[in-house]
Amino acid sequence: MSHGHTEAHGEHVPGVPEESRPPHGSRIDAYVDRYAMRARGMIASEVRALFAVASRPEVVSLAGGMPYVTALPLDVVGELVADLVARRGPVALQYGSGQGDAHLREQICEVMRLEGIDAHADDVVVTVGSQQALDLITRIFIDPGDVVLAEGPSYVGALGTFSAYQATVVHVPMDEYGLIPEALAETITGLAATGRRIKFLYTIPNYQNPAGVTLTAARRAEILRICQRANLLIIEDNPYGLLGFDGDPLPAIRASDADGVVYLGSFSKTLAPGFRVGWALAPHAVREKLVLAMESAVLSHSSFAQLAVGQYLATQPWREQIKTFRELYRERRDALLTSLEALMPPGCTWTRPGGGFFVWMTLPEGLDSKAILPRAVNARVAFVPGTGFYAGDEGSQHMRLSYCYPEPSRIREGVRRLAGVIREELELRDTFGSVTNRGRSGVDTPGPNLA
């Protein structure tokens, strides 16, 4: 029984050699009866197995949310890093503080000012990407069975973290204007009636991953009011806020409330994820817990990475670079939207993001994105099935399409391939009925680029 997951289903993943298949899934695990309870929640995500396939050059990947770091002046970044080691090596290569480099924390406050946040560097904790901030926050607040509210759909990496700490995620619906305040209020009331303990609301207000929608200013105020009334902490996760295509960014929710919001930011999309520098801005008491949790997790973030980011912000035109990214992603968003418009069969609908990386597509009735995926990969295009973005069984009629990484011409080609597959699926549906159980997916084992 040393076969990989795909074999366990008796099918081969099209175009994936045996040796490149993920070494997880249905292998017998000799330690299965020894894992802690929390390890049961550590289940690979939708995207993991897919990545082995989608990263092949012949596949147009509309799957992973990888920032286009090639647009950075890489030679300049290289010089900056070399200079850093030469001039400040003894500091850059030494342990640092659990809270993060003090100067970088001040620079982070300057970045947050662009979204109306007036913060003090003392309340910032530098983390290993905002992903680690999510992990630390969950570690601090969640006991097994506690409820976390999150948009439906929501970021797969956050859902994985919540699951690892045995939280119960309750989704709150969105529409094109973001999280629906009335639905939030109803969910809070409904849960209160059952005596369940809600620990926080997790929300991605800007260019949401995966839905691509943005919470309007009026709704931000309303959601804040609802949470304040319910004494509910908000975790505002905002890695895409500065990547809007039209006008200035909306003020963050945190801009209106310093006590009821933990704000998470990241340099992954405005600079590069390889530095792994993100942060949490938290109310004072929470910040202290975060530092302790940070120290127990990693002692301190990499001084080298923090100083490199600090040096970049101090010496490079970073606002201009963000503009460059925006223009680039806008062009790719346009390429995706215009080709969806031109090529997708009737019955498909999708969101129109004003920034960020993602479009959320809804398939015609009776089509199942997970069942379609192996055929799409066979046609050399990849996406993420919608089911990965829910804690439960929802999402099968949806898919996430990322436009951040492929060139516009490749995006058009990817959509052409995908539209062909969906048309075929519609023909099959009309001949044989629903596709849900017609053939098992070999790539349905979940897993990383959780981006």
Residues 376, 300: Cα–Cα separation, whole Å: 43
Listed in sequence order, the residues at least 6 apart from 148 whose beta carbon sits closer than 8 Å to its beta carbon are 138, 142, 162, 167, 168, 169, 170, 198, 199, 200, 201, 202
Q: Which of 115, 237, 425, 444 binds ligand PMP (CB under 6 A)?
A: 237
> CA torsion, points 313, 316, 320, 325, in degrees to nearest 10?
-70
Among 138, 268, 300, 306, binds ligand PMP (CB under 6 A): 268
d(C-alpha 409, C-alpha 230), whole Å: 49
Q: What is the rounded distance in angstroms from the CA atom of residue 53 to the CA atom of residue 330?
A: 27
Q: Does 131 participate in binding ligand PMP (rule CB under 6 A)?
A: yes
354 binds ligand PMP (CB under 6 A): no
3-class DSSP assignment, residue 281 = strand
The answer to whether residue 136 forms part of the interface with ligand PMP (CB under 6 A) is no
Q: Which is nearer to ligand PMP, 22 or 157 (CB)?
A: 157
Would you say 443 and 374 are in contact if contact means Cβ atoms under 8 Å apart? yes
Nearer to ligand PMP, 252 or 451 (CB): 451
Tell me how far apart the alpha carbons of residues 185 and 183 are, in angstroms, rounded to a whole number: 5
The conformation of residue 143, written as its DSSP 8-state character, comes to P
Q: Examine residue 129 and tell whether it contacts ligand PMP (CB under 6 A).
A: yes
By CB under 6 A, residue 65 contacts ligand PMP: yes
Q: Which of residues 247-266 bind ligand PMP (CB under 6 A)?
A: 266
355 lies in the binding site for ligand PMP (CB under 6 A): no
Query: To the nearest whole angstrom, how small is the minimum distance from the Cβ of residue 273 to ligand PMP?
Result: 5
Quick check: 153 binds ligand PMP (CB under 6 A)? no
Q: 398-402 and 384-385 as β-strands: parallel, antiparallel, unpaired?
A: antiparallel
Q: How far is the CB of 434 from ligand PMP (least distance, A)?
A: 31
- Site for ligand PMP (CB under 6 A): which residue of 273, 354, 385, 386? 273
Distances (CA, A) of 280 to 125, 135, 444: 5, 11, 33
Of the pair 45, 339, the CB lying nearest ligand PMP is at 45
**Neighbouring-strand partners of residue 441:** none
Residue spans of alpha helices (H) in 93-153: 102-113, 129-141
| Interaction of residue 227 with ligand PMP, rule CB under 6 A | no
Of 126-134, 144-152, 170-178, 327-335, the window that binds ligand PMP (rule: CB under 6 A) is 126-134
Q: Would you say 151 or 368 has its CB closer to ligand PMP?
A: 151
Cβ distance to ligand PMP smaller for residue 139 or 440 = 139
Span interacting with ligand PMP, options 12-20, 48-56, 129-137, 296-304, rule CB under 6 A: 129-137
Cβ distance 324 to 272 under 8 Å?
A: no
Among 155, 165, 275, 405, binds ligand PMP (CB under 6 A): 155
Q: Which residues bind ligand PMP (CB under 6 A)?
A: 65, 129-131, 155, 157, 204, 209, 237, 239, 266, 268, 273, 278, 451
